[in-house]
Structures are given as C-alpha cells and as structure tokens.
C-alpha cells in the first residue's frame, strides 16, 4: 500500500499537505516487478506515471538500427518515471526495465486520474507541477550538456 508518508519522501510530492498526500496515495496502484521485467517499452503509449518504492529501474534507449540499448538512467527509491507521458499524448521516449535486485516495487497512477487530481486540487497542482518543472528542467539541462559533449567528441574525431 502506498502511504502519504512515502509520497512526502518523494521530491515531487514533498510539499503536499496531509489531505492531498492522502488523496493521492489512495489513487495509487502498487506493482511488483521481477528483475528483467519490462515496465514499458520505448514508443509504447504512455498511460501511467510511476515512482520507485524500492529496487532499481533502468531507463534505456535503443539506438537506430539493431544496436544494443544504452542505459540513460538508473532510478531508485523516490525517483519518478513516465512523467512526460502523463501530460502529453506522445509515446514513451525510452524503455524501463526492473534491474539489479530480484524485485522492484512501483507506485503508479493512471494518467487521466492523476490529471483530474491536479485539476481538482489547485494547491496540490502548484506544488507538484512546480517540482515537476524543476525536475524536467534539470533533465533537459543534463541532456543539453550531453549533446554538447557528444558534438565536441565528434568534432575532435573529424566527423
């Protein structure tokens, strides 16, 4: 069972009040994934938002062609995945797989139910969306830096 105490340990939900955290916890579903189990594939429709309760999720992206997927991130307790799909109609931008440990536990929310929760609770929406913007901005900044590093490497290789 997902608790409001756990939710408030997650950066995205840390600023929620007791009532809002309890209501969001009540909407959550908890799943257990075995090591190697796919949570979602790149290009799948995005209909759920996740938080790691325990264990590890590896997020990876397949290069063009038949190359081996590249691990983009290892997510652990309190880290989120699937946020973008909650707010846009696009497909999953990467794959997510339970990794490292025998079992990974996830809290998840249906995207439509999560958006309704935010629409019905403006104070909670301000907290969650503010934290989400900071989180996604950090990811975008890291991606921009990675692209710049790659471009420098390609330039140095004479490509």
Q: State the CB neighbour count (10 A cutoff) for residue 134.
A: 12
Average pLDDT over residues 123-129: 96
pLDDT at 90 (0 to 100): 85
Question: Could you tell me which of 99, 45, 111 has the C-alpha nearest to residue 71?
Answer: 99
Domain locations along the chain: 4-156
Question: If you average pLDDT over every residue of the chain, what do you get?
Answer: 92
Alpha helices in the chain (DSSP H): 4-8, 18-27, 83-87, 111-120, 122-156
Q: Among residues of the chain, what percentage have pLDDT more than 90?
A: 68
In this predicted model, which residue has the larger pLDDT, 145 or 67? 145
**pLDDT tens track for 34-46:** 999 999 999 999 8
Q: Is the pLDDT of residue 72 over 80?
A: yes
Torsion, Cα of 73, 32, 11, 141 (10° steps): 20
**pLDDT on residue 159:** 60
pLDDT of residue 76: 97
Flag the least confident range among 16-25, 40-49, 74-83, 142-151: 142-151
Task: Enter the CATH code of domain 4-156.
Answer: 2.60.120.10
Note the pLDDT tens digit of each residue in 4-63.
Answer: 999 999 999 999 999 999 999 999 999 999 999 999 999 999 889 999 999 999 999 988
Q: Dig out the tokens for 108 from the structure.
A: 């998840």
> pTM score > 0.85 for this model?
yes
pLDDT surpassing 80 at residue 89: no
Q: If pLDDT is split at 50, 70 and 90, which confidence band does 69 have? A: confident
Q: Determine contact, residues 33/106, Cβ cutoff 8 Å.
A: yes
Backbone angles phi, psi at 10, to 5 degrees: -95, 130
């Amino acid at each position: 069972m997902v608790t409001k105490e756990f939710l408030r340990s997650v950066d995205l939900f840390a600023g929620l009040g007791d009532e809002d955290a309890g209501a969001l916890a009540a909407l959550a579903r908890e799943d257990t994934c075995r090591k190697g189990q796919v949570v979602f594939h790149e290009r799948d429709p995005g209909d759920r938002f996740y938080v790691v309760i325990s264990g590890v999720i590896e997020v990876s992206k397949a290069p063009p062609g038949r190359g081996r997927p590249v691990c983009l991130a290892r997510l652990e307790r309190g880290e989120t995945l699937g946020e973008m799909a909650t707010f846009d109609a696009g497909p999953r931008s990467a794959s997510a797989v339970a990794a490292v440990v025998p079992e990974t536990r996830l809290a998840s929310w249906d995207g439509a139910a999560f958006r309704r929760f935010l629409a019905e609770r403006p104070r909670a929406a301000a907290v969650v969306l503010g934290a989400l913007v900071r989180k996604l901005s950090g990811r975008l900044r890291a991606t921009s830096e990675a692209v710049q590093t790659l471009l420098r490497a390609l330039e140095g290789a004479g490509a």
